[in-house]
Structures are given as C-alpha cells and as structure tokens.
Amino acid sequence: MLVKRKKQDNLPVPDFAGKRMLTVKEAAKNLGMCTDVVRQLIKQRRIPYIPKGTGAKRLHVVIDRCDLDRFIESRKIKILE
C-alpha cells in the first residue's frame, strides 16, 4: 500500500501503518487468489516467505507486504508505446 508524501515531494512511500507481515490467507485476499494458489507459489519459491513454525500438515509462514508488492509488480504486463 502506498501513500503520497507532501505535494513538493510527490514520491510514493510504503505505508506501514497497517500490518507488515501477512498470513497466507491475508496475502491471498490481497492478491485476489485462493490460499491454495498462494501456497503453491510459496512452494515454487516465487513469493518470498518467512517460516513461522511447523504444523501437523503445513508449514506456517508469513509474507512481508513489501515482497508481495514486488511480486505483483513483477507480474504486470508492460504496455506498448
């Protein structure tokens, strides 16, 4: 999430007023995907993650909002000029 600085700067800066570390469910909601797809992207190491612990079935992880934003930017298709 980006916010604008004062008018003279006009540079977007990260807004860390909200949560910085996201669960798989929160990351999926931000991406508009289901949690299984996000878990697959993590398994393929296409989204960086931080291990939080181990569970009976799945590894518990958190995802940095900045990494999620970089993933989104890397997936954008550039326009032709």
Q: For residue 60, give the nearest of 48, 52, 68, 69 by alpha carbon.
A: 52
70 domain-assigned:
yes
**12 strand-pairing partners:** 4
Task: Catalogue the long-range contacts made by 43-47 (C-beta closer than 8 Å, 24 or more residues apart).
Answer: 46/71, 47/71
Rounded average pLDDT over 30-34: 94
pTM of the full predicted structure?
Answer: 0.68
Provide the domain count of the chain: 1
Each residue of 60-78: pLDDT tens digit? 899 999 999 999 999 999 8
- Cα–chain center distance at 75: 12
Cα–Cα distance measured from residue 42 to residue 62, given in angstroms and rounded to the nearest whole number: 10
Domain boundaries, position 64: 19-75
26 domain-assigned:
yes
59 domain-assigned:
yes
CATH number at residue 49: 1.10.10
One-letter amino acid at 19 equals: K
